[in-house]
Chain A
Amino acid sequence: AQTVTQSQPEMSVQEAETVTLSCTYDTSESNYYLFWYKQPPSRQMILVIRQEAYKQQNATENRFSVNFQKAAKSFSLKISDSQLGDTAMYFCAFMNPLALNYGGSQGNLIFGKGTKLSVKP
């Protein structure tokens, strides 16, 4: 079964600096999706960035970028020029879109336990 591990329960960064959140996963599949979701104190789940495993190029969305190392099964999130509004829980998630046989559900997002990021002024 697939698992997602976020080894940093909490992190902090000074405003305007760069921070990297780590994520590793375990799967025997060759094609899948990886995501980072942000959950601010309001509890809303907000998509930050998405990576298709078959793409070698790392995804980028404005200040957010990933370092996807498929062989190492690593998917870290880099936040540049951190802002106070980046303070949130960040969840790494794995999905095999054809995972009808993995614990039940197609589109089953398997989440890590999250990293609480605090951006300090």
Chain B
Amino acid sequence: DTAVSQTPKYLVTQMGNDKSIKCEQNLGHDTMYWYKQDSKKFLKIMFSYNNKELIINETVPNRFSPKSPDKAHLNLHINSLELGDSAVYFCASSQPLQDYTGNTIYFGEGSWLTVV
């Protein structure tokens, strides 16, 4: 069973559209994340969410919004897609990171978004 799963794995869409990527984790983790990997393969965090608090990387446009129906799911909604949004988006999860006993962050398989 996949620990962190994302759908769809591939998505091709036109500029201006709105799309969502779903993420589910079955690890019982309390904290989930979205990371973006650009065309140069550079990975950067977009959001972290622990069922109580959403922390947003201030460089993320407000066209991107995470939605969490429950602690096992964190979906990513993107409005008015732009060419520059083309990237691989990774969902991830971990236990809450407290002191220095926090767990490792586990990644999903990625969702490859292409905006044309």
Contacts and interface: CB of A to CB of B under 8 A. Distances in A.
Interface of A: 31, 33, 35, 37, 39, 42-47, 50, 52, 54, 89, 91, 95, 97-98, 100, 103-109, 111, 113-114
A77 B21 CA distance: 33
A37 to B, nearest CB: 8
B45 interface: yes
Contacts of A33: 100, 102, 104
Interface stretch (B12-20, B55-63, B67-75, B76-84): B55-63
Contact of A31 (B50, B94, B100): B100
A109 B105 contact: yes
6 contacts: A43-B88, A43-B109, A43-B112, A100-B55, A104-B48, A107-B105
A44 B56 contact: no
Give the 3 A-B CB pairs with smallest separation, nearest first.
A97-B97, A45-B107, A105-B48
B97 to A, nearest CB: 4
Contact of A107 (B40, B100, B102, B108): B102
A120 B108 CA distance: 28
A9 to B, nearest CB: 10
Interface of A is mostly: loop
Given A45-B107, A54-B100, A107 B94 contact: yes
A106 B48 contact: yes
B102 A44 contact: no
Given A103-B58, A105-B48, A43 B104 contact: no
A44 B48 contact: no
A62 to B, nearest CB: 17
B25 interface: no
Contacts of B57: 103-105, 108
Given A43-B110, A44-B110, A52-B100, A107 B33 contact: yes
